[in-house]
Structure formats: C-alpha cells, structure tokens
Amino acid sequence: MNRFSIYLIILSIALTSNPLISSGISNDIPQKNIDEARIIAAEKGKVLFVYFYASWCKPCQWMDQVTFKNIDVQKSLENNFIRVQVNIDDIEGYELKKMYDIKYLPTMIMFNSGGQMIDRIEETLTPAKMNALLNKHNTLQNKSIIQHDFNKAPGAEHLLTFESESMRNTAEEYSKHFQQKQVNKVYRVQVGVFSRYHSAEMFVKSLSEITDAPVTVVNEYQNDDPTFKVRVGQFDSYEAAEAFKIALFTDFKLEGSVI
C-alpha cells in the first residue's frame, strides 16, 4: 500500500468522525444554478467547471480537504473559471445526476464559454492533476465571449423550432448518428441531436411540459466534435418504446428514433 492510500484512509476516518463536514467540496467553490452559471460563463468568456459530489463520498471529502485547499488550484478556479457544485442528494442535484448520467463520484464536467462539453473526469484528482487539468482547458479557444438570448423559455409549441436546430436537420452527415442502432437492455426514444448543450437543455425543458417520462442527455464525440443526444422514456421492450415514439409524433408532431 503506497503512502497516498494510507493517507486517504486516515483522512477518511477523520472526516467520518467530524460532524462539521457536511459536503464533499470546498466552501471556496460556490454553489450556483447551472443555467445561471452558463450565462455568466458566456458573458465573461470563462470555462464552466461543474463538480458533482455527495456528503457521504470519501474521495470527495479528500479532494475537499486537499485538492481544493491547494493555493494554485484555488487561484486558477477563481481567476479563470465559473464554478458550480452539485450535491446529487439534493432534489435539483438528483435531476442533474440523471441528466448527465453521473455514475461515479467525484465527477467533474467542463464546458467552454459556448456551452460545449470539453471534458468529463470521473476520478479523484490530486492537486497536481487538478492544476494540469485546469491549465489544459484555460485557453482562449475555450473562453470566447458569447452573446445568447436566455430569456425566452420555450413552451411545448416551440418543440418543432428546437427540432429544426437538431444536427440531423442542419448537417446531413449527422443523420446517420441520429438513426444509429445500439444494443441496450433499456430502450429510449431519441428525439434530438444538438451541437450545443444549451440548445439540448432548452429542448429538455420543453419536453418536461408535455411528458413526465424521464429525459436523458447523452454526450458523445463525433470526429472530435461534441454532440448532445436527447432521449425520452425508459422501456423494457422495443415495442413499448416504438408505441411511445408513435404517440409523440401523433400528439406533438415530434419525430424520434428508438435507441
């Protein structure tokens, strides 16, 4: 067992016995609404740093006490990033956990100022690794000032507008990805593919107005470009998913593909 592992065990015992430790992230990193943070990142031309944690997560507690207390890490985050912490045990945090398909803690997701996901890290980072990660993404290319109209919240009547922004309608080369078949035990209906996370997120909000079915945003890369695939429902059989797809089209003229 190396020295780092021994130190982690000792620190975990200390944290468990300390009633003052209630979150898995440093108080130096503020908690914001992700929508608000994305607007700020766009306006200020900064990278968005989103940290998923839980109070019971021992690696998160270790990062809280070690990584996020590192002076260089603190300075880099303060000067160059818009920071958000998400407690997956909160109501909003749990919904974000499902949306981003968080399976491991800690998880860090980074978006450029345009709202595109540029990295996803699912591991405990030492101060050195964290500094290397922050330096890697602190580039002018990721920090352009973007002007968006975030004030128009779409209703169900705007679904087709968002659908027309889907990459399968704006770029023919992406249509094959929209229709792509995957082997899964759970079937979902894919209803949109977007090149920008903000467009996918607004589309998800529109969907929540017409269905209570679970909605998932899956991030994938095609030729090094991020894509955000919006999928609705969770079915045990292809037939059930196909029936739901037909209902979406019949009731809302919303096209989809069973995945």
Sequence ranges of the domains in the chain = 3-142, 156-258
Cβ pair 75, 32 in contact under 8 A? no
CA distance linking residue 121 with residue 50, whole number of Å: 10
Q: Does domain 3-142 have CATH number 3.40.50.2300?
A: no
Percent of the chain with pLDDT over 90: 27
Contacts of 134 (CB under 8 A, 6+ apart): 49, 73, 76, 77, 80, 81
Instruction: State residue 11's pLDDT score.
Output: 44
Residue 160's pLDDT band (cuts 50, 70, 90): very low
**C-alpha angle 63-65-67 in degrees, rounded to nearest 5:** 45
Instruction: State residue 247's pLDDT score.
Output: 87
User: Above 90 in pLDDT, residue 129?
Assistant: yes
pLDDT averaged over the chain?
A: 75
Instruction: State residue 223's pLDDT score.
Output: 66
Instruction: State residue 62's pLDDT score.
Output: 94
Count Cβ atoms below 10 Å from residue 9 Cβ, excluding itself: 13
Which homologous superfamily does the CATH classification assign to the domain defined by 156-258?
Sporulation related repeat (3.30.70.1070)
Residue 58's pLDDT band (cuts 50, 70, 90): very high
Instruction: State residue 198's pLDDT score.
Output: 75
Indicate the angle between helix axes 3-16 and 58-65, nearest 10 degrees: 100
How confident is the model over 94-111, as a mean pLDDT?
Answer: 90
Instruction: State residue 158's pLDDT score.
Output: 46
Cβ pair 258, 182 in contact under 8 A? no
Residues 225-256: pLDDT tens digits?
Answer: 778 888 888 888 888 888 888 888 888 888 88
The CA–CA distances, whole Å, from 243 to 12, 101, 226, 237 equal: 49, 25, 30, 10
Cβ pair 216, 228 in contact under 8 A? no
Instruction: State residue 224's pLDDT score.
Output: 67
Count Cβ atoms below 10 Å from residue 209 Cβ, excluding itself: 13
Best CA proximity match to 84, nearest among 124, 52, 113:
52
Percent of the chain with pLDDT over 70: 70
Chain centre to alpha carbon of residue 176 = 24
What is the pTM (predicted TM-score) of this model? 0.51
Instruction: State residue 233's pLDDT score.
Output: 86
**Is residue 258 within a helix (H) or strand (E), and if so which, with residue range?**
strand 257-258
Bridge partners of residue 218, in order along the sequence: 229
Instruction: State residue 74's pLDDT score.
Output: 94
Residue 14's pLDDT band (cuts 50, 70, 90): very low
- Helices and strands of the chain, counted as H and E runs: 11, 8
How confident is the model over 58-73, as a mean pLDDT?
Answer: 94
